[in-house]
Structure 1
Amino acid sequence: MNKIRKGDQVIVLTGRDKGKRGVISARVDVDHVLVEGVNVVKKHVKPNPLKGTTGGIVDKTMPIHQSNVAIYNPASAKADRVGIKLLDDGKKVRVFKSSGEQIPAPKA
């Protein structure tokens, strides 16, 4: 079970975007995630008439390692760690480590 999922609101812990908040838009692989508005770079694109794309400089969101982000706890307005709790009916749920309350399902 992934502790950080698509649709979760996270806060960046390290790097040039430290302190920024955003929503995870995709998981690139096991260790990297795409966060909206975080780690945005300028990319120079060549025009391709076959695909109908124009050239120029575009903004592109690059992946960030999941260890550099933490889930955002709206109750405490801070970053928090994620734990996994086993319910009585055998289901696993994610909980905030600081308060023990269940993390709401992401709106994906």
Structure 2
Amino acid sequence: MHKIKKDDLVVVIAGKDKDKQGKVISVDTKNDTVLVQGCNMVTKHTKPAAGSPQGGIVNKEAPMDISNVMLVVDGKATRVGFEVKDGKKVRVAKKTGKVID
């Protein structure tokens, strides 16, 4: 079970997009990377294909290491812990003790 999940609001804590907030688009658990909306943008040169007959230069998000993002709860960045409540393992914000999901 990972501390960051899809659709979480996170803040980038390292790199060129430091202090930017965004929603997690996807999490790659195998490589421990995340895609954050509007962060770590790269320009990709695409060839004309069936999906995009024009081709050209496309701006898109590149994966960043999961250690470079922090979960945002109630507008504040916080670390994440786990607790067992009612026989279920849930994520808990370390700063407030609030159950996240």
1:67 corresponds to? 67
Matched, 1:47 2:44: no
TM value normalised by structure 1:
0.85
Cα distance change, pair 3–52 in 1 and its aligned pair in 2 (3 A): closer
Computed over aligned residues only, the root mean square deviation of the Cα atoms, in angstroms, reads: 1.2
1:90 to 67, 87, 90: 87
2:8 corresponds to? 8
Runs (5+) with no aligned partner, structure 2: none
**Higher-Rg member (1/2):** 1
Letter in 1 for 2:95: S
Matched, 1:27 2:24: no
1:52 to partner: Cα distance: 5.0
TM value normalised by structure 2:
0.90
Q: Partners in 1 of 2:28 and 2:55 — Cα distance?
A: 26
Aligned residues: 99
Task: Name the one with the larger strand percent.
Answer: 2
Q: Partners in 1 of 2:45 and 2:90 — Cα distance?
A: 43
Q: Partners in 1 of 2:51 and 2:62 — Cα distance?
A: 24
Q: Partners in 2 of 1:36 and 1:79 — Cα distance?
A: 17
